[in-house]
């Protein structure tokens, strides 16, 4: 997630490199302070967080929330480990990987019930399913993060090696690589890369990478276990506020864009706003799929625990029961 965007956010990075925002001081004198790490520069994908601050949903729940955007070279869980953040908004798979290195992070809610990574091909491509990638060239940024984890799952399901699938590590040049014909498809983010590529003039379609879903947990909220025990009720309150914010954004997309513009001034541009509107719609769709907002899927966590160990993402398998809790229960 941290490096999933490359068009609109490149503009935003120049405007806002590392802003933060808090609820109104007058209303939060006795509130519980929580610093939330957002693992990318200010962007439309964080709109529910911005809405929850600006509409007072966090304040209403007795919280004083500060949003902290990560720097480009910052370690994903570094600020959480150092105590500069109380909560991090990141992939469940990345948190499990971090836990394997000794960081006592526990995921306590899944936000993206739909895993955000997908196979993206030109609309007129003869690739119709993952089985068709043999002998093709498939690009992704590099051997790390959610794109890479999803690629490993797809190749394992198809019984293909990276060489057989023509895997190319191309950095953040997806649109250019597709347009130039340097790759036949890319592994990217359904809520951002698809929009950015289509905005560049290349019609694309997406293909599910694994039938039945990837054995990976999407973006969620995590904290160090000591903070989780101390702030359980506050984090449950945070979930309630975010549920209201997501519902608001779904029902009021234009006002949500107005709110986000305070954090991403580039949205004042008509074309940038139109692109952000499409990304917002696709991002909000990722939150859907569970009966209870933020709930955890035990089967997916168990499958991911085995998957990360089998594929060398972790040196020692992390038991699923140690990596997450479900604060919706």
Q: Is 146 exposed, middle or buried (0-12, 13-18, 19+ CB in 10 A)?
A: buried
The rounded distance, in Å, linking the Cα atoms of 107 and 76 is 14
Question: Could you tell me which of 112, 129, 141, 281 has the C-alpha nearest to residue 198?
Answer: 281
Place of tokens 């200010």: 42
Would you place residue 265 in the very low, low, confident or very high pLDDT band (cuts 50, 70, 90)?
very high
pLDDT at 11: 38
Is the pLDDT score of 25 beyond 80? no
Q: φ and ψ at 319, to 5 degrees?
A: -60, 130
pTM attached to this predicted model: 0.89
Q: Which residues contact 318 (CB under 8 A, 6 or more apart)?
A: 96, 99, 100, 305, 308, 309
Contact at 8 Å (CB) between 109 and 239? yes
276-293 mean pLDDT: 97
pLDDT at 193: 93
The rounded distance, in Å, linking the Cα atoms of 302 and 297 is 9
Write down the CATH number for the domain with range 8-114+217-323. 3.40.190.10
Portion of the chain with pLDDT greater than 90, in percent: 85
Q: How far is CA 43 from the centre of its chain?
A: 12
Is the pLDDT score of 215 beyond 50? yes
Would you place residue 62 in the very low, low, confident or very high pLDDT band (cuts 50, 70, 90)?
very high
Is the pLDDT score of 12 beyond 50? no
The rounded distance, in Å, linking the Cα atoms of 270 and 5 is 19
34-56 mean pLDDT: 96
Would you place residue 73 in the very low, low, confident or very high pLDDT band (cuts 50, 70, 90)?
confident
Instruction: Let me know how long the chain is.
Output: 329
- Token pair recorded at residue 228: 């989780």
117-207 fold: D-Maltodextrin-Binding Protein; domain 2 (3.40.190)
Is the pLDDT score of 17 beyond 50? no
The rounded distance, in Å, linking the Cα atoms of 80 and 77 is 5
Mean pLDDT of the chain: 91
Q: Is 180 exposed, middle or buried (0-12, 13-18, 19+ CB in 10 A)?
A: exposed
Residue 167 bridge partners (DSSP): 138
Portion of the chain with pLDDT greater than 70, in percent: 91
Cβ neighbour number for residue 224 with a 10 Å cutoff: 20
Would you place residue 30 in the very low, low, confident or very high pLDDT band (cuts 50, 70, 90)?
confident
Please, what is the angle between helix 145-158 and helix 92-100, to 10°?
90
Q: 8-114+217-323 and 117-207: same fold?
A: yes
234-242 mean pLDDT: 98
Q: Which residues contact 290 (CB under 8 A, 6 or more apart)?
A: 110, 113, 297
Q: How far is CA 54 from CA 66, 125, 162, in A?
A: 12, 43, 46
Domain boundaries in the chain? 8-114+217-323, 117-207
pLDDT at 72: 78
Residue 87 bridge partners (DSSP): 36
Residue range 131-179, pLDDT digits in tens: 999 999 999 999 999 999 999 999 999 999 999 999 999 998 888 899 8
Q: Which alpha helices (DSSP H) does 252-319 contain, by range?
A: 253-261, 270-286, 298-310
Helix or strand run (H / E) with residue 322:
helix 320-323
Of 61 and 201, which is predicted with more confidence? 61
């Amino acid at each position: 997630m941290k490096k999933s965007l490359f068009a609109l956010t490149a503009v935003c990075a120049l405007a806002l490199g590392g802003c933060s925002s808090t609820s109104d001081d007058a209303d939060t004198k006795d509130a519980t302070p929580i610093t939330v790490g957002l693992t990318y520069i200010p962007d439309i994908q964080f709109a529910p967080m911005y809405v929850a601050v600006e509409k007072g949903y966090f304040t209403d729940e007795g919280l004083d929330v500060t949003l902290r955007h990560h720097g480009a070279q910052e370690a994903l869980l570094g600020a959480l480990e150092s105590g500069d953040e109380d909560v991090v908004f990141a992939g469940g798979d990345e948190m499990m990987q971090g836990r394997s290195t000794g960081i006592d992070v526990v995921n306590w809610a899944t936000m993206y019930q739909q895993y955000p990574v997908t196979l993206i091909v030109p609309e007129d491509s003869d690739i119709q399913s993952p089985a068709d990638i043999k002998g093709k060239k498939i690009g992704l940024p590099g051997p790390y993060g959610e794109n890479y984890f999803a690629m490993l799952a797809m190749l394992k399901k198809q019984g293909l090696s990276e060489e057989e699938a023509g895997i190319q590590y191309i950095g953040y040049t997806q649109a250019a690589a597709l347009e130039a014909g340097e790759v036949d498809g890319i592994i990217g983010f359904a809520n951002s890369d698809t929009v950015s590529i289509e905005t560049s003039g290349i019609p694309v379609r997406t293909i599910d990478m694994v039938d039945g879903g990837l054995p990976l947990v999407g973006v969620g909220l995590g904290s160090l276990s000591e903070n989780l025990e101390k702030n359980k009720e506050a984090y449950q309150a945070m979930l309630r506020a975010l549920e209201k914010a997501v519902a608001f954004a779904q029902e009021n997309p234009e006002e949500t864009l107005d709110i986000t513009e305070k954090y991403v001034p580039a949205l004042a541009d008509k074309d940038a706003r139109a692109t952000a509107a499409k990304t917002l719609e696709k991002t909000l769709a990722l939150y859907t799929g569970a009966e209870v907002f933020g709930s955890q899927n035990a089967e997916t966590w168990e499958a991911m625990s085995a998957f990360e160990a089998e594929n060398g993402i972790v040196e020692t398998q992390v038991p699923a029961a140690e990596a997450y809790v479900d604060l919706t229960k």
